[in-house]
Structure 1
């Protein structure tokens, strides 16, 4: 590889591929690299929930507004990358009714549509729901298939002129005279690149890239387990209507449901314990909402690491850390031209990309509007083509490996 891009995006998850797509759509020469297959970090190891924002409504109104806005956008542009299911927030007999009312009011205050259901109506909407569900409310949650979403963004970026390289790990970042001079990339690229701008979109791994450049980010990653079990017929996403805790989300797939999750701090997103108690607790707690999952056969189990940004974090419980995102410009740290985008949620990846592309374009003197909220993703309505692209970019990831129909080898 000899041509140096104007912008090098490091990280091939939803945010990184979204940034490459956005920049390419504005006419910026962008190259994206990832050390593995695309989506193999946090994006493809999530529970795949398309948030309505209800989960955050009472604690983070701005984050909830971001979620419902991007939820609507993805339903318009992402086609077979998402599945519209709706969601129920359910209150069991022992759950706080005041919290339930606060949650409903907070959703309505930020513009998240709600519909109240009594216990019988909730069980009709979600067959198999526990008998002691006393009340519920419906919200526009859904399901994201992240392997497809990432592949569609990467393909869209490429058709607009970007270059995408999976299996191309960054090996070093050279900073000279207060600015990024070059980035050494191995694997499929095997070259030293000299971009004008470098975007660190590696999520939970952002500290590692930043350290190569001699700057600090301040990630506070936490691990969470997902357990997929056999279960037919669940329509909506289930959310336990209580303060966020272990085992309070059930996400429907065809013939399976994904149960999650836990939140345990980790110091290294590549090397952490995977504890049996997390699996057991997630199943037990989710079974309080959907009893049949207690004895359902397990299909697969995986852990993901949340890219939480909290430079001053010292506590052990990281559930309270904001799921909002932050864009760091490292010129103030002596590495001009380097940006890190951290935090956020899969649902809000496109907004994260737009904000980052806005700042990069401002630096480059590019005057072009963002179009990613209006224009459909590449091949969004062709699931077979999307799954071919998933295979091209590194294969399906744990979240949606049961859904993505990657073509067999010849």
Structure 2
């Protein structure tokens, strides 16, 4: 059996479901395919930080401004998909004080609320902080529960007419006369074809592989990183080590646990990478510099995620942490292939903005009027955690990042 749709979105993470939602809200007929359960890729294997932009404020001002804008929107529309914990950037003795000052100045320049606390005041607010703490910057970071976020976003898309097809892998793109016109899909119902006026590649770390089926080059540098969840209640804010980004510089409060992260290891295949016990031990050791008690905690689980970094001009760059965390919208008509767009890079925090950028382009191409409403319309179940967790089960969106919270 063949199907037809205006737009086919391939990839069921935060960005893909966000695109499906935005298109559906504008009255576009849209179908989304995901090879596994929703949020099965990078989204569901992230550390789940809702960035305030402070992490980027000193070296990526545009990225910082995007983050603080989306931070405020998600806190409004996503409800129980978000835990508004706040965050601290922690300077320990031996850390560069100039870096702290540059971070603070960047926050203030980019409109990010930032307050300095002395080490003593910081330890009064968070008693488990190391005695080595000299001062901190308080910022409006938070925590995202990606399973809930993606499931609620998919439910909103479906309410507005989208077809959401988890467990539906794309086996090949359909190309005719220099255009992508659809995809061949598999699944429990057997193989079939979906024809579309436009196809969106939102496959994240797998975007290069999918684009190659259309004869298009999308140069990804997938980077794996480990997250370690330990049984540790009582830490309220997200803790960031105030030093240049490196291994083991973030502690994320997560219900009765804390998630420690992360490493940065370049991999050739986003489905095949090492899971080294040494990485786990290093995360605990490094994060314990901020919270010494972490070294005594029992490890509940460890999981690896693969970040979908886009680096077409950076193949010779050796340090993966220096690659941009911004997003890139690739209109492949410029490559001689019509009807095909890739969205790559980016962060979980900015997924909604990424989806808006894609939808604006496609709506213009299809002659669809109407402004984006995803920044105003709240997600289904935003005020009902039990409903959100039921949606997680329905869409198969349970993921390692927040399985302890959703109970899925």
Shift of 1:54: 0.4
Q: 1:234-254 CA deviation, whole Å, 9 max, x = no partner?
A: 010000000000000000011
Shift of 1:395: 4.0
1:370 equivalent to 2:363? Answer no
TM-score (norm 2): 0.98
Q: Which moved more, 1:215-224 or 1:310-319?
A: 310-319
Residue equivalent to 1:318? 320
Q: How does 1:2-401 map to 2 (within 5 A)?
A: 2-188=2-188, 190-312=191-313, 313-401=315-403
| SS of 2:269 mapped into structure 1 | coil
Q: Distance in 2 between matches of 1:403 and 1:50?
A: 16
Q: Distance in 1 between matches of 2:332 and 2:262?
A: 33
Q: 1:6-42 CA deviation, whole Å, 9 max, x = no partner?
A: 0000000000000000000000000000000000100
C-alpha RMSD of matched pairs (Å): 0.9
**Where in structure 1 do 4 or more consecutive aligned residues deviate above 4 Å?**
none
Shift of 1:2: 4.1
- Report if aligned partners of 1:263, 1:317 keep a CA contact under 8 Å in 2: no
- Report if aligned partners of 2:117, 2:138 keep a CA contact under 8 Å in 1: yes
- Report if aligned partners of 1:127, 1:233 keep a CA contact under 8 Å in 2: no
Would you say how many aligned residue pairs link Structure 1 and Structure 2? 406
| SS of 2:356 mapped into structure 1 | helix
Q: Distance in 2 between matches of 1:127 and 1:300?
A: 25
Q: Distance in 2 between matches of 1:339 and 1:257?
A: 38
- Report if aligned partners of 2:182, 2:198 keep a CA contact under 8 Å in 1: no
Shift of 1:382: 1.1
- Report if aligned partners of 1:112, 1:139 keep a CA contact under 8 Å in 2: yes
Q: Distance in 2 between matches of 1:84 and 1:7?
A: 34
Name stretches of at least 5 consecutive residues in structure 2 with no aligned partner.
none
- Report if aligned partners of 1:219, 1:311 keep a CA contact under 8 Å in 2: yes
| SS of 2:136 mapped into structure 1 | strand
Shift of 1:315: 2.8
Q: 1:58-95 CA deviation, whole Å, 9 max, x = no partner?
A: 11000000000000000000011000000000000010
- Report if aligned partners of 2:182, 2:199 keep a CA contact under 8 Å in 1: no
TM-score (norm 1): 0.98
Shift of 1:334: 2.4
Per the alignment, do residues 324 and 128 of structure 1 end up closer, same or farther by CA in structure 2, a change over 3 Å counting?
A: same
Q: Distance in 1 between matches of 2:183 and 2:311?
A: 26
Shift of 1:182: 2.8
Q: 1:128-147 CA deviation, whole Å, 9 max, x = no partner?
A: 10001010010000000000
Shift of 1:127: 2.3
| SS of 1:307 mapped into structure 2 | strand
Shift of 1:402: 0.2
- Report if aligned partners of 2:181, 2:199 keep a CA contact under 8 Å in 1: no
Q: Distance in 1 between matches of 2:320 and 2:332?
A: 25
Shift of 1:53: 0.5
Q: Distance in 2 between matches of 1:117 and 1:271?
A: 43
| SS of 2:353 mapped into structure 1 | helix
Name stretches of at least 5 consecutive residues in structure 1 with no aligned partner.
none
Shift of 1:378: 1.4
Q: Which moved more, 1:51-60 or 1:330-339?
A: 330-339
Shift of 1:118: 0.4
Q: Distance in 2 between matches of 1:47 and 1:55?
A: 14
Per the alignment, do residues 2 and 178 of structure 1 end up closer, same or farther by CA in structure 2, a change over 3 Å counting?
A: closer
